[in-house]
Structure 1
Amino acid sequence: MRAIIQSKFRIFLRKPWLFIIMTVVCIMFAFFIGKNTYSKITVPIHTNLPQEEYDVLLKKLNESDLFIFEQRSSNEVRNDVKNGSAEAGLHIEGEEVTLIANAETGNVPLLNQYVQTVYTEYLQKKELLNTVEAQDEKDKLEEVWDTALTNPIFTVEQENFRNKESKVIDTQLQGIFGFSLFFVIYTIAFNVIHILEEKEDRIWNRMIVSSVKKWEIYAGNLIYSFLMGYVQVVLVFITFHFGAGVDFYGGFVKTLIILIPYVLAIVSLCMLLAGISKTTRQYNALVPLFSVSLAMLGGAYWPIEIVSSDFMLMLSNISPLLYGMEALKGATIFDYGYMELFKPISVLMLMAVVMMGFGINLMEKRT
């Protein structure tokens, strides 16, 4: 078995271009899809406030989930808006807030409302602190202010798109996860096809006559296919996490663990397709048919949360990509623990065992 794996890697080192191209294409698709979807809006800001006061205000403004505020000079703010590199800019002087915008986009009213709310609160706190002179009294007032904000006398329940009935969707991670899980199917399929090719070329007959056992031949090919698929997805995740600074919500290590049962399930799927196929031509026709269909059903191209058809949701349960996406989103966006991730992982492992068993059984019946 070890010799088979070593020979596969030697062949890969001589012809690594298919693996490299598939990895690069996956990164490009995920990058451009994620770039064209939701991201925070950068807002240049200029103010005449003292630097200490400005730092406090900037920290408060940057608590927004929609906007990022960056300090610029007055001319830079106007140039950014004029050139279209920023939807709007801010100029704050004293108690006046001036909003600079070229066009009234949908984000401008939201920006204006948010800045007015934050800055009004900032001025109120500043006026309150100015009523006393002693530093210890200012510290007490600030403590009371913060306590009132964190533990108010009464609360207001706000209904918006992030309430319990709605779904939280990170479109950047959606693109990365979706296209990574989709393209790895082709990488694994192009390695599993070697089993069919070797059977057609009668190479297996010569290996079986030698001291190599049949299960070792299967294991060597499948382990190599698993490693190539796993390495590809890990490379994509590392590129985005460490290279592009994509936020995995502290669940990066969990995603690498979750990839193991998913890649195993895809290896088993490709083995099942190889067992169904009588020739490599049939196999090459079945791979794109199944991969695209399962990706669409599993929510790789678009979030499964936006699908409203009960029939389509029922069909999606047969797709390994559904459980892979569910586990990856759970480990990142929703911060699930391993017990909460047990269900999608166990389903993937069950799929891997069942499809591998049927695939090898079908292939052995034809030999």
Structure 2
Amino acid sequence: MRGILWQLTLLTVRNPWTLLAMLFVTILFATVTGLEETERTSAFVYNESMEEAFFQSKVEQLQSFTDEVSFEILSQEEREIVRTRQTVDAIFGLYEDDYIVEPFTTPSMTEMSVAPVLDQFYIMTSLTGETVEKMEALDSVFEVETSYIGIDNSEPFNNTVKNMFGWALFFVIYTIAFSVSDILQLRSRRIWDRIILSPSSKWSIYSSYLLVVFLIGYVQVMTALTIFHYLFDFPFYGGYWLTYIAVIPYLFAVMAVGIFLSSLITNLTQLSGLVMLFAMGSGMLGGAFWPLHVTGDFMYALSYLSPVRYGMELLYGVTLYDWSFDEFLLPVSILVFIGCTFTALGIHFMERRGDT
């Protein structure tokens, strides 16, 4: 087993171009989209039903609530011009206790960035308004400590973090899947048959190959996240070192799906098509390209089928959300189940194909 591991490691070192290419595009996409988020997003708002003075006060409160969004007021005439020409991808109508979105593109990047801010603002102001009146009435009788469940000073959504994790998890699918395809090439050249006939057990042979494939994906993801952390100073909310552990179940699941896909086909052309379909489908459904909360109910339900969703949840959990240990159990269990199931199916189909 050690001999196989050493040989595969040498082959990877001598031909690292797939790994380097995927690492490059991961950093490129995440950096370009992530650095765009450092600039303030412009959100155009208009008065839906409030008095003008109250509306102006509401916009001022919104502006003081966040530094990430610049709110610009649209007059009635400007609103009609924007609707006609669609010079922006979304505008927002403000009510006293709620808001509406008029998106002109699907998906709307402005809506993705601004809607979470508006949601949090209206929740905070609503809770504050209701509780303050009651607390003042009871203040003379009780000593009351006020807290808001589910709301703290951290952001519930950060598009920079989403871009960083999303692109890292998306592109590693290609690296792992095409690394697994080496077994397919060895089979087509009849080299695999000679390896199987060696004194090493099948378990040690498969384990050696899959361990190397896993490590290739692991090195790619962690190198990308390390560059994001130390070179570009992307936010990890104190959870950078925990990402080294959180990414493991996801890589195991993706490796297993790669084995399964390789067992279904006979040449690299077919594999390329299947891998692209799986990667794009998982990325879109799992929230790698846009946040899940802006998708419809049907698409949101389908996201539970994507390993990317659970990989994103684990990385969010150790960084943005600061999860407790119990909250990690469900996504980890699902990814481990995917990994074990598809690994068993993939090896089984490979062995059956080899016997025919």
TM-score normalised to structure 2 length? 0.67
Among 171, 184, 193, which residue is 2:159 paired with?
171
1:252/1:332 contact within 8 Å kept: yes
- The answer on 1:247 being equivalent to 2:232 is no
Paired AA for residue 14 in structure 1: R
Paired AA for residue 67 in structure 2: L
Tell me what 1:357 maps to: 344
CA positional deviation for 1:253: 1.9
CA positional deviation for 1:64: 7.2
- The answer on 1:326 being equivalent to 2:313 is yes
Separation of aligned partners in 2, 1:274 and 1:263: 16
Separation of aligned partners in 1, 2:40 and 2:19: 33
What whole-Å deviation, never above 9, does each CA across 1:248-275 have from its counterpart, x for those lacking one?
1111122221101010001001001011
Tell me what 1:32 maps to: 32
Which runs of no fewer than 5 residues in structure 2 stay unpaired?
Answer: 42-63, 69-134, 140-149
- The answer on 1:222 being equivalent to 2:210 is yes
Separation of aligned partners in 2, 1:40 and 1:2: 53
Choose 30-39 or 221-230, whichever is displaced more. Answer: 30-39
The sequence identity of aligned pairs, in percent, is 37
Tell me what 2:275 maps to: 287
Separation of aligned partners in 2, 1:306 and 1:11: 44
Tell me what 2:10 maps to: 10
CA positional deviation for 1:288: 0.6
1:38/1:171 contact within 8 Å kept: no
- The answer on 1:211 being equivalent to 2:199 is yes
Paired AA for residue 163 in structure 2: G
2:176/2:214 contact within 8 Å kept: yes
- The answer on 1:234 being equivalent to 2:222 is yes
CA positional deviation for 1:346: 1.2
What whole-Å deviation, never above 9, does each CA across 1:303-333 have from its counterpart, x for those lacking one?
112112x221221111100111111112211
Separation of aligned partners in 1, 2:213 and 2:24: 18
Q: How does 1:107-126 map to 2 (within 5 A)?
A: none
1:188/1:266 contact within 8 Å kept: yes
Separation of aligned partners in 1, 2:209 and 2:232: 34
2:247/2:314 contact within 8 Å kept: no
Residue 339 of structure 1: SS of its match in structure 2? helix
- The answer on 1:303 being equivalent to 2:291 is yes
Residue 327 of structure 2: SS of its match in structure 1? coil
Residue 366 of structure 1: SS of its match in structure 2? helix
Q: How does 1:61-76 map to 2 (within 5 A)?
A: 65-66=66-67
Paired AA for residue 196 in structure 2: I
Tell me what 1:270 maps to: 258
Tell me what 1:343 maps to: 330
What whole-Å deviation, never above 9, does each CA across 1:30-79 have from its counterpart, x for those lacking one?
011112235569xxxxxxxxxxxxxxxxxxxxx97517xxxxxxxxxxxx
Separation of aligned partners in 1, 2:250 and 2:301: 20
- The answer on 1:312 being equivalent to 2:288 is no
1:40/1:65 contact within 8 Å kept: no
Cα root mean square deviation, aligned: 2.4
Paired AA for residue 348 in structure 1: L
1:39/1:66 contact within 8 Å kept: no
What whole-Å deviation, never above 9, does each CA across 1:224-250 have from its counterpart, x for those lacking one?
000000011001111111111112111
CA positional deviation for 1:338: 2.0
Paired AA for residue 332 in structure 1: T
Question: Post-superposition, which runs of at least 4 consecutive aligned residues in structure 1 deviate over 2 A?
Answer: 37-41, 152-155, 278-281
Separation of aligned partners in 2, 1:169 and 1:230: 25
TM-score normalised to structure 1 length? 0.65
Paired AA for residue 292 in structure 2: I
Paired AA for residue 354 in structure 1: T
Separation of aligned partners in 2, 1:197 and 1:303: 37
CA positional deviation for 1:296: 0.6
Q: How does 1:30-179 map to 2 (within 5 A)?
A: 30-37=30-37, 39=39, 65-66=66-67, 168-179=156-167
1:8/1:224 contact within 8 Å kept: yes
Separation of aligned partners in 2, 1:65 and 1:5: 52
Choose 334-343 or 318-327, whichever is displaced more. Answer: 334-343
